[in-house]
Structure 1
Amino acid sequence: MAHFARRLTLEADVSDVQADLAAGVEGLVVVDSRAAVAWEQGHLPGALHLPTAEIAARAGELIPRTSAVVAYCWGPGCNGATRAALAFATLGYRVKEMIGGYEYWVREGFPVVTALGEVTAPVDPLTAPVAGATCAC
């Protein structure tokens, strides 16, 4: 029980992050830890771009210490969000890793910002109900 409860303090799925952003949760800062080329390809609306290698040097000037940070990278096949979360935790931030990353954000049909503006892909039926409703898990 303790193991699973602890995981929920360290991880958030894309639906939870989207719900928190939509609700305007105060103090929430979503950080895209990918390289500039990935950020430019597409990123979450309202996210802050801070590559993992720059967190130690720049986080203090960009993100208040009282913030709740959610770090994301490409997706489940990438541990970049884990590395970013570790960098934030080392600095004393409250941080969660967004499991699923950018990939699952897109696959669940949430909007992303690209050079063309805000776009939304169709929901992937392997990751979320096609109707777009939450899975209520």
Structure 2
Amino acid sequence: MTSTLTDQTVFDRDSAIEHFAAKLRFETDPTDVAAALADGDDFVLVDSRGHASWHQGRAAGAIHLPTAEIAERAPAEIPITTPVVVYCWGPGCNGSTRAALQFSRLGYEVREMIGGFEYWAREGLQVIDDNGPVERGIDALTAPTTSGSTADGISCDC
């Protein structure tokens, strides 16, 4: 029996290119978002989690706009011409997908930050809570802990 991993009749080069190009057009990751924030790029980082989660900790530079409030609040708080990056808890949660869908329906240019807050924190990027900065180490399973580390973030050299 042939596996779908090795069955070349399943592979369609043009469909693969379209699929991966679309992912890169609509998704980003914590390291790229942190670099864009540091560079002063014009976009808004939106934490779409609930209020308790927001108070527990969040990506530095994010604003809080729970998914259930996007349709009502976004038009008044974020100019329609401003690109948006959304995140939720992490890869086991599709809350950021729901948030991205809400922003898309409103007409915003939106990207989903894959990995969510979990990978933002695990990669050692700046986390804050209601009391200020939260000190966390870098998780060696998600980011380099020495080579490639910088003062304001990490680089995985992808």
Structure 1 stretches of 4+ moved >3 Å: none
TM-score, reference length from structure 1: 0.96
Deviation of the 1:115 alpha carbon? 2.7
Note if 1:52 corresponds to 2:53.
no
Equivalent AA in structure 1 for residue 97 of structure 2: T
The equivalent residue for 2:140 is 125
Equivalent AA in structure 1 for residue 155 of structure 2: T
Over the matched positions of the two proteins, sequence identity in percent amounts to 57
CA–CA separation in structure 2 for the residues paired with 1:134 and 1:120? 19
Deviation of the 1:120 alpha carbon? 3.1
The equivalent residue for 2:58 is 43
CA–CA separation in structure 1 for the residues paired with 2:33 and 2:86? 10
List gaps (5 residues or longer) in structure 1. none
- Counting matched residue pairs gives 136
Deviations 1:78-116 (A, max 9, x none): 000000000000000000000000000000001111133
List gaps (5 residues or longer) in structure 2. 1-16
CA–CA separation in structure 1 for the residues paired with 2:110 and 2:28? 10
Residue in structure 2 matching 1:18, options 22, 29, 34: 34
Equivalent AA in structure 2 for residue 4 of structure 1: F
What is the RMSD of the two structures over their aligned residues, measured on CA atoms? Answer: 0.8
TM-score, reference length from structure 2: 0.84
